[in-house]
Structure 1
């Protein structure tokens, strides 16, 4: 992912606030104003009673800060709200498309937002880094079930992602103690890259896989309000144990039951587990 341009301290502060929910920045703005305004008034009174150089400096900081910090909070809140709208629009447009070709017309920033939204709808907490800094090009940090996962996005239309990219992410994962990682591209991966990822906790997602992810989570999002409108509890079919449809355990031939993964990259996902667990650890 391309490196971001160098930004000023003001830009960095706005960017920091934009990582919060939009309403958090909106709430922080009046609080900052009231606190700094009260401080500036108090310092002004002290200056009149006993003029000092330090009081003048404090008054200047308070006078400027009472407007500057609320501006930063509001600007960050607006950016957060815009990104939220942009992520939703991107995901909706992709889910409405017929093929994964829709990914090819995106900018790298739009692609990163789309990937983050896809994981967000899968239940992950998403932190956007943008590939900036000495972090091996990591664009997103995911958290779920107490585990951390790293994501590198590659909006490459004409090139295949090489094994070097996967190796770099794997090294950063080991150094940061991440439970797993994802390399997501709108294109394809080389055979060496796929071979390296085999047996390691790195998942490779090409354009078709990302397209399928966005469409699948979109279907789940659509399903929620329809059930709520009917006044019926929302039940995930894949989480319901169905004895008649349960497969036989590949280890002991016993009946399997539907379980939900608690940890790892598949945390929250359903799978078939042997009913004799922990004596038998067969899965399907």
Structure 2
């Protein structure tokens, strides 16, 4: 896949500001205008008798330079921030529409037809709907490092999770990708990580992730999450399922103490057998025999 084209510093700054909530961009625009306008409106320094000429010249040049920057910046920076606010609203709406359209999809075509950027938006919005605070790093392209940073309150403060998205429809994600993310997690002290792909993972990748705090979400698993309504737009009310002893239980997960749900294994040697799985899956993979 082609990587992103190079952008100008102004475009990079606009994209950074667009990651903020739109209302915060508007507040920053007003604050920046007031502050810079105050600097630009200050009277120019005048030469003083008895002061070192060189020191006075340095002060005059520095003051004139700052006033010149403030004169331009009092308009340029607020305009940039307001444009970022509009971009933030547009992107937020696009994410919700993307999640809604994908959730309504009947097969994997809705995901397979996405670009790598749309796939990252979908995954980020999906985690956001699950209560995470999501920071989109953007990366330099579809294969560029960590794509999302997730945060949520934990027992010892805020917990950080790293996410790498791989929009690979015809390829398996290998162990190198999982190992790379695990190394970044260790370096940054992250509580856990996710590798999300529209394809599948190799056996080596699954073996490496087993027993580690790295969750692998492949295409079929992502489709199951969407079909189960676990990733839905906030604007779409989630129907309340009828209470059923086969679905809702009082069994507690042995790993995280969350409620468990009754499921039936679809793959592997235990296919067709019922078991209890953690309701927070894939965050927690705790199971109990039924």
CA contact (8 A) 1:141 1:148 kept: yes
**Alignment correspondent of 2:81:** 73
TM-score, length of structure 2 as denominator length? 0.73
**Alignment correspondent of 1:82:** 90
CA contact (8 A) 2:252 2:259 kept: no
Which structure 1 segments of 5+ residues have no match? Answer: 228-234, 251-256, 261-265, 274-281
**Alignment correspondent of 1:168:** 180
Aligned 1:99-110 pairs, distance under 5 A = 99-110=107-118
**Alignment correspondent of 1:22:** 22
2:208 to 196, 202, 208: 196
CA distance in 2, matches of 1:203, 1:179: 12
Matched, 1:211 2:223: yes
Aligned 1:88-103 pairs, distance under 5 A = 88-103=96-111
After alignment, is 53-62 or 140-149 more displaced?
53-62
Cα offset for 1:189?
A: 1.1
Cα offset for 1:58?
A: 2.1
1:126 to 115, 128, 134: 134
**Alignment correspondent of 1:177:** 189
Cα offset for 1:159?
A: 0.9
CA distance in 2, matches of 1:272, 1:5: 43
CA contact (8 A) 2:126 2:232 kept: no
Question: SS of 1:33's equivalent?
Answer: helix
CA distance in 2, matches of 1:13, 1:248: 47
CA contact (8 A) 1:136 1:172 kept: no
CA contact (8 A) 2:102 2:226 kept: yes
CA displacement 1:223-270 (0-9 Å, x = unmatched):
36x89xxxxxxx9979xxx8xx545999xxxxxx9659xxxxx59x89
Question: SS of 2:41's equivalent?
Answer: helix
Cα offset for 1:139?
A: 0.4
TM-score, length of structure 1 as denominator length? 0.75
CA distance in 1, matches of 2:189, 2:214: 13
CA distance in 2, matches of 1:64, 1:132: 31
CA contact (8 A) 1:94 1:102 kept: yes
Aligned length: 250
CA distance in 1, matches of 2:284, 2:215: 18
Cα offset for 1:183?
A: 0.6
CA contact (8 A) 2:129 2:232 kept: no
Question: SS of 2:39's equivalent?
Answer: helix
CA distance in 2, matches of 1:218, 1:79: 23
Cα offset for 1:172?
A: 1.0
Larger helix proportion of the pair: 1
**Alignment correspondent of 1:230:** none
Cα offset for 1:23?
A: 1.1
